[in-house]
Amino acid sequence: MVAYKKLRLSGRKLPDIERFFREKLNPLYKAHYAIWVYWWPLWRSLYSGQNIQRKWGQFNLAKEGQAFLDYGCGTGWFTIPVARVVGMRGKVYALDCFHRQLQIVEERSRKKGLTNIETMLSNSNTGLPDESIDTVWMCDVFHEVEQRRAVLEELHRVLKREGILAIYDGMRDRVLSYTAGLFSLTGRDGKLLRFTKIR
């Protein structure tokens, strides 16, 4: 399990031995890198991204001034536009378990002049205060998460009382067996499920 770390990843140097194993020897790392760093953002730009983003309005997911957690943010396809929506009075927490994704999010936000994005390296805990987040956005991440119930418990903890959890995932209805007792379903459209907290 990757321990929770809140860090500015740009300029972070991996120790040489760790870099050697991760980037030169490990074919799984290379495959992961190719899929998530190159192929996935291309897929988002060419096809799926705009359609998904249109649902934000329909489900009232992003508003000016909000604290927004993009859980499993990848290279930031949704992080960047939502940072513009929440604006300088709001904040976007971009969390992923793969450090290279977060480096890219940071590079992209710097280029776009966005200063309201904070990256977080974690595969479960957020380190955020209780009831501090308005919306948690989990897009095409849930099926990849190993500790699904533990992650949902953490999201329940950090969401405000009236906060929204939005899960877009190919697991569709199977997500409900994990959310039971923590969240109630308040809307759905295809793969998008919208929840509020059960207190």
Residue 149 is which amino acid?
R
Does residue 74 interact with ligand SAM by CB under 6 A? yes
Q: Are 82 and 55 in contact (CB under 8 A)?
A: no
Which of 7, 135, 121, 126 is closest to 67 using CA atoms? Answer: 135
Binds ligand SAM (CB under 6 A): choice among 80, 82, 97, 152? 97
**CB neighbour list of residue 166: distance below 8 Å, 6 or more residues apart:** 59, 61, 135, 136, 137, 138, 192, 193, 194, 195
Determine if 140 is a binding residue for ligand SAM (CB under 6 A): yes
Q: Does 96 bind ligand SAM (CB under 6 A)?
A: yes
Cα(150)–Cα(46) distance, rounded to whole angstroms?
34
Least distance in angstroms from the C-beta of 161 to ligand SAM: 24
Q: State which of positions 144-173 bind ligand SAM (CB under 6 A).
A: 144-145
From the CB of 4, what's the least distance to ligand SAM, in Å?
Answer: 11
Does residue 33 bind ligand SAM (CB under 6 A)? no
- Stretch of residues binding ligand SAM (CB under 6 A), selected from 57-65, 92-100, 111-119, 156-164: 92-100
**CA proximity to 98, closest of 145, 133, 130, 52:** 145
Selected from 56, 59, 93, 98, the binder of ligand SAM by CB under 6 A is: 98
Nearer to ligand SAM, 31 or 88 (CB): 31
